[in-house]
Homo-oligomer: A and B are copies of this chain.
Amino acid sequence: MKPPAPWFQVRFENLDRETECNQGETLFHSARRAGVRIVGACGGRGVCGTCMVRITSGECDVLGSESPGAGTAARTEEWVRACLARPAGDCVVEIAPRSIAAVVRAEVGGQEVMITPDSVVRSHDVVLAPAIMGQGQGGGADADRVIDALRDDGAARIDLYALRELPGLLRGTGWRLRAMVRGDEVIGVRPCGSRSLGLAVDLGTSNCAGFLVDLETGTRLASLGIENPQAAYGADLVSRVNHAIRSPVGASELQTAAIAAIVGLARDLCGAVSAAPVDIVEVAVCGNTAMHHLLLGLPLSQLGRAPFVPAMCAAIDIKARELGFATAPGAYVHLLPNVGGYVGGDHVAVLLATENRWAKTTTIVMDIGTNTEISLIHRDSITTVSCPSGPALEGGHIGAGMRAAEGAIERVRAQNGLLEIEVIGGDAEVVGLCGSGVLDVLAAMLELGILNRHGRIGAGHQAVRERDEQREVLLAPGVAFTQNDVRAVQLAKAAIRAGIDCLLREAGLEEEAIERVVIAGAFGSYIGLESAVRIGLLPALPLARIEQVGNAAGVGVRMALASAALRDRARRLALRCRYLELGSLPGFQRVFMGRIGFE
């Protein structure tokens, strides 16, 4: 059935897309409406000349941009502005190569993820006639005229702070400006040519990663990782949550630290590309549920104890200035949705970034950390748990544990009956053991028979010694792995493995049914998969089924920043996740105890 109003069929031949163009509508606007990837820096006002097309068949009326009203028919082979061309019948159109909006490629574990830029904030250049003595409707007020000029772009209101800047800007720039429109709101007004930047933040418990993105093109301009300054109030999440619950001052300190981290990232990232934080017109943040609550100043007591209820899981948009961010004053912060009390927006970002690898397969997606979030994707359902794996796997609470820095043992192998080590920095003096080495040590100790199946260090091997009434294995002078360290790793790996067991049990699946395991997160990238399988952290699957994809959360939050469609996709992914609280599952404790030992 044809739409009621007269319309024409328009084919964008080099993108292989067809759309219907209403009579009187421009090629540009019908392309934008249909999601056809056409560049238009000025938002289709005939100002910038970036939306060039030519009509290869059919006819268009083209308005002269210099003399509006002087319509002419476009000749074949002539390049014209799509925003000034209105079809006079069905037609076929070629978009100039430079006018096709780029698809941005991001890497997740060496594999590309496509991001078609489609920002929730759009820039539109506006040129007004100078104000004359107020006559007529609305008295010719500045904001009313700007909103009127942007009405076709959906604008209906203006942010108070943008409004405060508007009169001075218009008079300082000769009545030209670039307006940033988000939904129906003008959130910022800047001189023409100003950049529209976005900031994506993966607010992790230990580290915060920031990505500065050009929202027009979707390209990443700069990225930076810093330590989460909340660490001053406790390395692990539980001590921070307790600090916040104990007093409003504590909660405020932690909120301030999280804000400071993001403000610092914004400042340093902008500095790196000669931009200013005020150029940032949209921020997207993902983090676990506790980080989410701490950043927003939400109460934590109901989250910190059973039944561990978040104040909110749905995605939320708030004015950046409500958090004191030094961005464009009218900008919003979008927080990705949480899944449950211990599964936050960072896991949703991981799912978003890795979706193309697990769609239609039975997959385990996990992000190993102090809390390890695991989703089992099977048919159309996603079931998600969080395992309290503690810091041991990352080298925390391990006697000789350290960050992955020079002097850290990163690999351990059983070789000729001995423990052979690899150290970051090669010949550097050995200082300690980092996360990836921890799994290796256990695997090698099992291989050499130093550990029994209960996790007890035996006495027979030359590297074993007794000290302070417990046995330990000497890895290098002054660097030992103790019986207590073994216990800590056992608890961690049992928690994770029990999580996988419960997910499989709930779905009625055997381990063999897992077609793919996707391991996200910085730590997960460095672990030796053979060791992980050997100590029973992962099921004994063919290693080819297991992929390490690095900081997928960072890619996911960039995707949600750059594209409204992908942001919506994240929202729907979060809603698809069925959240299980492991502690409330019958028999969880038994499953957990069954995974403490080694096979």
Contacts and interface: CB of A to CB of B under 8 A. Distances in A.
A584 interface: yes
A463 interface: no
Contacts of A306: 133
Interface string A301-338: 11000111111111011100010000000000000001
Contact of A160 (B132, B158, B167, B316): B316
Interface in A160-190: 160, 163-164, 166-168, 171
Contacts of A296: 160, 163-164
A581 interface: yes
Contact of A134 (B134, B142, B309, B322): B309
Nearest to A159: B318
A38 B459 CA distance: 84
Interface stretch (A274-282, A525-533, A571-579): A571-579
A157 interface: yes
A171 B305 CA distance: 13
A313 B298 CA distance: 37
Contacts of A141: 309-314, 338, 340
Contacts of A343: 139
Contacts of A317: 157
Contacts of A139: 309-310, 313, 338-341, 343, 579
A322 B160 contact: yes
7 contacts: A136-B578, A139-B343, A141-B314, A141-B340, A144-B314, A157-B314, A164-B298
The 9 residue pairs across chains A and B that have the minimum distance between CB atoms? A139-B340, A133-B584, A143-B312, A141-B313, A133-B307, A141-B310, A139-B579, A131-B309, A167-B302
Interface of A: 131-144, 147, 157-158, 160, 163-164, 166-168, 171, 296-299, 301-302, 306-314, 316-318, 322, 338-341, 343, 575-581, 583-584
Given A134-B307, A139-B340, 11 more contacts: A131-B302, A132-B307, A133-B306, A136-B578, A137-B575, A139-B341, A144-B312, A160-B296, A160-B297, A164-B298, A167-B309
